[in-house]
Amino acid sequence: MDFMVFQYPMITIQACLDGILLGVLFALIAYGMALQWGVMNIINIAQGDLVILGGYIAYFMYLYGIHPAWGVIVSPIIMYFVGVGIYKLVINKVVDRDLFISILATFGISILFMQLMNFAFGADVVLANSGYGTTFLFDSNVVLPNSKIFSAVVSIVFAICLVIYMKKSKLGRAIRATAQNARAAKILGVDTEKVYAATFGINAALCGVAGALISITFTIHPYMGLPYTIRSFMIVIVAGLGNLPGVAMSGMGLGVFEEFADYILGTEFRIGSVFLLLVLILVYRRFKLSRKREYLK
Amino acid sequence: MKINKIILSFVSAVAILLSSSVVSFAKVVGDKIVLGAAISLTGKYSSNGVHTQNGYNMAVDRINSMGGVKVGGKTYKFEIIYYDDESNPKRAAQLAERLISQDGVEFMLGPYSSGLTKAIAPVTEKYGVPMVEANGASRSLFTKGYKYLFAVLAPANLYLDVAIRTAVELNGGKGVRIAQAFEQDAFSQDVRLGILDAAKETGSEIIIDDKLPKELNDMAATLVKVKQMKPDVLVVSGHTKGALTAIRQIAEMKVDVPMLAMTHCDAAKLSKQHGKNSQYALCASQWHKTLTYKDNFFKDGMTYAADFQKEFGYDPPYQSAESSAALLVFKDAFERANSFDQKKVRDALAATNMQTFYGNIKFAPGGQNVDKPMVLFQVMCDGAGKCENKVVAPLKWASAKLIHPIPKWSDR
């Protein structure tokens, strides 16, 4: 245990800012998960692998001399079609089934994706350099890489666009209607099959954006997806489905929590502390539920 | 029905044929010495696994084309049976069993990484199969009393020992303040132990001692501490992702530290991925092509690098060079033993004392190579941003002078 983070106010500020910038990115991935979980009742274990695949798209653009920031535009477009493809091949066969079946199916997709990416791109750790420089605050006691700020801003922009799209567009309304009651929506003429495909596509596109941002700010590797799945799962669990402000808040909360855990417990417990928090929250929820004597369907 | 029966009998006939041919194909057959190796061709170690395999293949081709191995007045050629261990230690141990008990292999080459070598060593030891390995540097491999394990590389605890000693020397013999961050795997933790030993001997102080997770892609917390506490040396070891993450974030956060020492820089293609940001990083390496060791097969490092480049299309990382050296050691041991008796070959291996293009090779009783020091190179860039790795320590092999301390980011 090391409480250095509280002894120097500058480190506290640094940790909070790092956490918030990171958390916004997590929230974007989690929003995709919440969306398709809410609409299709599918927990997508391959979420993190879609993120990494999106990252590779930006990386390859970078390799061919295109600035990786363009990946933020290109990657979601490609990933949308990847998402729709996965839906047509696998997900539409498990969408009305038990939650457990969908977890198994997406777990399978996750393993397949990891191996395919490993074959296609190699097992090397790679990154795309944005060359964005650094912002110094408080007499350069707090440093923020501009790539992190860029990724947070882009995440927020995409999230806002999506919210507006869901509220105003026809497809957005159809998605929301399907989430509320798929059968009723079908009776009223909504093509739920199309809605499901689009939802999965949108989720994959969001993962694509996040992946491009991760390749700019951190590193990518075919086997690095799972921590992102776990984090978004955790954020969605805390926030609840269909609660967008909740997803944003719990995303940032998780980011800050991770940063502080990193300083206090040590970097090695960073991901471990997320798991621990997840368990604690699930236990707490269970406890609250049993007191209310309600059952979660 | 009838067709099914025919297919079934055909399949079983093929299966019987295959299984019998596998057994007869193994060991030393005709003019072939068959070696076995489980290598990571898929999974997270696959890129280094391929480097290892290329190194083995290159040496096999070279030795075979230059007359092969002479034992008992007859010449033999090397052949290797490979299996893919999927970067998974359990699978590697199973495959070692399979190579030995099913395929009848009597001599083994090592896999890639300390973890996988650790998984295989008990198996080869159990069957008394001599194994020359080139990619398992963990110290714990050499303290278990294995009799049939020989490593051509220097043990992990020596990787960055030179860096600390150099820093102390540049500090006028006084101890230095060290910040370190190591991944929690067998190899990196051994590197850490080496630093602890060196720190103790030189009276240096360790002021930050962080552990990095396997899923590492953010070490901002460690670097913030480094910024606050201003150590003399920052040591990072976390395979390629550790090296890449460290350089990216040091550059982004403008962390000034007089010396930065790391492992796995060439596997991470540091200067290619990061360009000028990687400048001045010190990297531990088992081998560098500019070293002037010599042998009859590959001549020297530069020739090896050129030949390798021609055959595989990329500059050989040290993982390939050491793998090639493993075959040279086997050839030498077979010829001195003048027999294929496993015990005799084992004793010949233990008595190895030779020079290869990769370095001198002489095994300690524990099996590690004690005759080859680690080298440190520094990433140096010219005005146009072209970066190169230049050996700076030990002085005997140095091709450039160490730049120390690293210039501040504000002055670059």
Q: Are residues B310 and B277 in the same domain?
A: no
Q: Does A13 touch chain B (CB under 8 A)?
A: no
Q: Are residues B191 and B139 in the same domain?
A: no
Q: Which of A62, A113, A125, A219 to mutate to test the interface with B (most CBs of B within 10 A)?
A: A125
Is the residue at B273 inside a domain? yes
Distance CA A182, CA A191 (A): 10
Is the residue at A1 inside a domain? no
In the sheet that B387-393 helps form, which strands lie side by side, from edge to edge?
B205-212, B177-183, B233-237, B259-262, B282-285, B375-381, B387-393
CB–CB contact B253 A267 (8 Å): no
CB–CB contact B46 A118 (8 Å): yes
Report the residue of chain A nearest B213, measured CA to CA: A268
CB–CB contact B240 A11 (8 Å): no
N-to-C CA span, chain A: 40
Is the residue at B331 inside a domain? yes
Is the residue at B131 inside a domain? yes
Q: Are residues B145 and B214 in the same domain?
A: no
pLDDT in tens, B27-77: 677 788 999 999 998 887 888 899 999 999 999 999 999 989 999 888 999
Q: Per residue in B156-179, is it b (16+ CB within 10 Å) or e — as a string?
A: bbbbbbbbbbbbbeebeeebbbbb
Q: Are residues B258 and B391 in the same domain?
A: yes
- CATH code at position B176: 3.40.50.2300
Q: Are residues B216 and B305 in the same domain?
A: no
Q: Does A143 touch chain B (CB under 8 A)?
A: yes
Is the residue at A111 inside a domain? yes
Q: Does A267 touch chain B (CB under 8 A)?
A: yes
Question: Are B271 and B251 contacting, i.e. CB atoms less than 8 angstroms apart?
Answer: no
Residue B116 is encoded by which pair of tokens?
A: 């996988």
CB–CB contact A219 B244 (8 Å): yes
Is the residue at B367 inside a domain? no
Is the residue at B72 inside a domain? yes
Is the residue at A49 inside a domain? yes
What is the model's pLDDT at position B347? 93
CB–CB contact B273 A127 (8 Å): yes
Cis peptide before B231 (omega within 30 of 0): no
Q: Which of B42, B86, B218, B219 to mutate to test the interface with A (most CBs of A within 10 A)?
A: B218
Q: Are residues B188 and B266 in the same domain?
A: yes
Domain count along chain A? 1
Expressed as residue numbers, the domain containing A92 is 23-225
Is the residue at A240 inside a domain? no
CB–CB contact B248 A15 (8 Å): no
CB–CB contact A134 B254 (8 Å): yes
pLDDT in tens, B95-150: 999 999 999 999 999 999 888 999 999 999 999 999 999 998 888 889 888 999 99
Is the residue at B208 inside a domain? yes
Where is A253: in which H helix or E strand? helix A244-265
- Among partner residues A122, A268, A269, which is closest to B47 by beta-carbon distance? A122
Is the residue at A220 inside a domain? yes
Chain B interface with A: residues with Cβ < 8 Å? 42-48, 87, 181, 184, 210-213, 215-222, 224-225, 227-228, 239-241, 244-245, 248-249, 252-254, 268-269, 273-275, 277
Q: Are residues B212 and B351 in the same domain?
A: no
CB–CB contact A134 B216 (8 Å): no
What is the model's pLDDT at position B25? 44
Residues in A touching B210 (Cβ below 8 Å): 266-268
Expressed as residue numbers, the domain containing B163 is 158-285+374-411
Low pLDDT (below 50) residues in chain B: 20-26
- Among partner residues A22, A115, A221, which is closest to B42 by beta-carbon distance? A115
CB–CB contact A267 B210 (8 Å): yes
Shortest CA distance to B117 belongs to which of B139, B137, B136, B138? B136
Query: What is the interface pTM, i.e. ipTM, of the complex?
Result: 0.78
Is the residue at B144 inside a domain? yes
Q: Are residues B142 and B187 in the same domain?
A: no
Domain count along chain B? 2
Distance CA A240, CA A285 (A): 11
Where is A120: in which H helix or E strand? helix A99-121
Q: Are residues B24 and B76 in the same domain?
A: yes
Is the residue at B369 inside a domain? no
What is the model's pLDDT at position B22? 43
Report the residue of chain B nearest A15, measured CA to CA: B221
CB–CB contact B42 A22 (8 Å): no
Low pLDDT (below 70) residues in chain A: 1, 242, 292-297
Is the residue at A110 inside a domain? yes
Size of interface A-B (CB pairs under 8 A): 103
Q: Are residues B313 and B268 in the same domain?
A: no
Distance from CA of B208 to the nearest CA of A (A): 11
Give pTM, 2 decimals: 0.80
Residues in B touching A143 (Cβ below 8 Å): 227, 252-254
Shortest CA distance to B358 belongs to which of B312, B299, B412? B299
Q: Are residues B34 and B64 in the same domain?
A: yes
Q: Are residues B172 and B143 in the same domain?
A: no
